[in-house]
Amino acid sequence: MLLTSRRLRAALLAAASATLVAAALPPPAPLGIGDALFPQLGNPGYDVLTYDIALTYGGSNTNPLDAVTRIGARAKERLDRINLDFTLGTVRTVEVNGHPATFRSAGEDLVVEPDAAVAAGSRMNITVTHTSDPSGPPTAGGWVRTSDGLAMANQADAAHRVFPSNDHPADKAYFTFRVTAPNDYTVVANGVRTAKVRRGSATTWAYRTRHPMATELAQVSIGRSAVVKRLGPGGLPVRDVVPAADRDQLESWLRKTPAHLEWMEQQVGRYPFETYGVLIADATTGFELETQTLSLFERSLFTTTAFPEWYVDSVMVHELAHQWFGNSVSPRSWSDLWLNEGHATWYEALYAEEKAQRPMATRMRAAYERSDQWRTDGGPPAAPKRPVPGQKISLFRPVVYDGSALVLYALRQTIGTDAFTQLERDWVREYRDAAATTADFAALASRIAGRDLSAFFDAWLYAKRTPPMPGHPDWRSTAPTPPVAG
């Protein structure tokens, strides 16, 4: 057929070119931002600014929740496709900037193709209508099924089992949660409550964070709960969430939180968020978790007689310390995890020393004796080995707890107590609401100490063997010496 219209030929040529461009796109594939421990976690090309997550809970903690996740982001480059981390739920529709988009799954990514490429530097709004499925294995993370509802445990790589996201702590954002549940349920989430609207047999609760948050720290509690309110230092709102039947039994523990807050503020400065509280869930997880502004605890920690009071106290302080170290200042990569857990363990141990006469030096000497073996098993503190396949939580090994607190002890021995205290305070002030790296911490320590500490950090954070402890030449490792290669 002879094409006689110049306009028609131009239109067909443009259409043909667009088809060729589309055909040239590679097959959808999971992407990542290059994290050494979770290579396909996070997604390149954009920065998330806000999440608005709507969930509808029908009263069963095994049935999928209906959900709508709205993501506000800024494109850092031209995006013909947008990868989101999401798995387990069913995606029904996706829109980009108000227009329907095509989508498909690739690994644990949701790959979205908008009807027009998103220009570099522009804002984009992504709306995903989906389900959020709590029926996955408990060890995989995401939703935690409690005796009367649900809670979240998204660390380290599990928020995308609950909602579509850029699931890496390097990309923090502001969150809004809107959760609808039957009237006899109570909903609490990160941040402060902004609305509670009852319509017929269901109530919608809305919460919003006033500070950016990593996806792994998101928390939504749905249950037959009591919310216990009191004030902390400086009038800080404190709200604890507990099973309603346990309200009176747990009060002796709940009332400790204001004193814990006051103690931590004496160490490192003002609490960095808008509210705090403990969420005590009737569930078996095997861990406690520092979800932002609302730390998650197992009920059994407080109701069993297996643990002495000083130990439970120090565990509560551990999760509280994370609000500064790990939440306000988030790790830039998961290899920086030692900054989270090492600091939380440090303040846990310091609290036990001051309040329960459990000497820090005794605990650190015991850690030193085991440190070489911990490094062999899990890698050095700032270069940990990857988690065991299928067991992402195995990343949380002894080397990132007491093995990393040991690094801080050695640092204090090296630069002195006054410089160490200044370092801790300056660290959480300078990097508040941001993500930071091991290199950032080392640089700040060197600046405060007035000398280059690169050799110290290289040895203590990356060596296979633990260096000699400053001030304690008698401390020895009990790990066997590896054979010399012939």
Q: Does residue 23 register a pLDDT over 90?
A: no
**pLDDT averaged over the chain?**
93
CB-CB contact of 320 with 328 (8 Å)? no
pLDDT for the residue 308 = 95
pLDDT of residue 481: 67
For residue 149, the model assigns a pLDDT of 97
Give the confidence band of 485 by pLDDT, cuts at 50, 70, 90.
Answer: very low
Rounded-to-integer distance, Cα 322 and Cα 325, Å: 4
Residue 342, beta-bridge partner list: none
Dihedral (CA of 28, 34, 36, 37) sign:
negative
The pTM (predicted TM-score) of the whole model is: 0.92
Beta strand pairing call for 329-331 and 434-436: parallel
278-281 sheet: strands from edge to edge: 225-231, 237-243, 278-281, 295-298
Place of tokens 């370092």: 423
Interatomic CA distance for residues 289 and 203, integer angstroms: 27
| Predicted pLDDT at 394 | 84
% the chain with pLDDT above 90: 87
Cβ-proximal residues to 385 (8 Å cutoff; 6+ apart), any chain: 378, 379
State how far the Cα of 51 lies from the Cα of 73, in Å rounded to an integer.
9
What is the per-residue pLDDT for 137? 80
38-72 tens-digit pLDDT: 999 999 999 999 999 999 999 999 999 999 999 99
Higher pLDDT, 28 or 178: 178
**pLDDT of the residue at 117:** 97
How large is the average pLDDT for residues 81-96? 97
